[in-house]
Chains A and B, each alone.
Chain A
């Protein structure tokens, strides 16, 4: 436990585990940069600032696509924040392991993203703070670095869809999901969550189906 695994070791372990994901995240950062720097996008500098401060791919892509398709600012902000609302329960889940004063905890909380959270999860509801921060730092650098490369590289990358980058998203999330399906309860919750998301997609703004799918976790109240 804590005595046998120093935080420095866990930081490095988290960082190393995140490297393959960081390559993928970096590529998404590149495509976010390309999309934003091209005509109709939000512009190069706003894209880089957004990656550094928001640090949430799905929310940023949602905002970018709504803006480029002529959607209003309120719709873009709402969609992005709704997509990020999942970080409320995710933040609560890691609250116990983030040490330090309020400001330090606020900063550490920014490194909590889907991927670093999954890497730090021990599978029993506990999280390793070292792995969480190590993975978060590597992923943040990849995301912001990728965005910078993207806005500089511009259209040189080509069409992200033609390169199949949009199919990389579900593959990445599935690769993160697979190790979590250790129990039949987790499998049921996953199937229910996916079903809720699919059913709600035509009727709700993007992002809402994902939050609603979190309701599937309430199965945990009466099943162990």
Chain B
């Protein structure tokens, strides 16, 4: 029990410090031009990595499962300019249906 609280505290405090490091230490100081160029590209790099690992990652292994079907449906929904909630729900529904169909077979 105390072990659980130690983990919760460590992750909570650690995350708070990570998040606050830039804003508290840097304040209003502008970032150098070159750094700004990198920072502007951090979002696409990290988000694409999150898409890849959330679709294919299972711990340290790569698996192709119902999530791929969900992502395919998400791509179609995004191309059709569906709102984000619809994109997410369509992906979840597609994955759930693929799993349900798989369980029947």
Which A residues form the contact surface with B (CB < 8 A)? 20-21, 23-24, 42-43, 46, 49-50, 53-56, 58-60, 63, 67, 73, 76-77, 80-81, 84-96, 98-99, 102, 105-106, 108-110, 112, 114, 117-118, 121, 124-125, 161-178, 180-181, 185-187, 189-198, 201-206, 209-210, 213-221, 224
A180 with B43, Cβ < 8 A, contacts A106-B23, A217-B38 known: yes
A73 with B6, Cβ < 8 A, contacts A50-B11, A175-B84, A194-B52 known: yes
Main secondary structure of the interface of A (DSSP, over half): helix
15 CB contacts below 8 A, A to B, read A49-B12, A54-B12, A60-B11, A81-B14, A81-B15, A88-B22, A110-B19, A166-B67, A167-B70, A168-B92, A193-B46, A193-B47, A206-B57, A214-B46, A217-B41
Tell me the bound Cα distance from A107 to B70 in angstroms: 36
Tell me the bound Cα distance from A118 to B84 in angstroms: 13
How many chain B residues touch A (Cβ–Cβ < 8 Å)?
A: 81
A-B contact count (CB 8 A): 318
Which B residues form the contact surface with A (CB < 8 A)? 1, 3-8, 10-16, 18-24, 26-31, 34-57, 59-62, 66-67, 69-71, 73-75, 77-78, 83-85, 87-97, 99-100
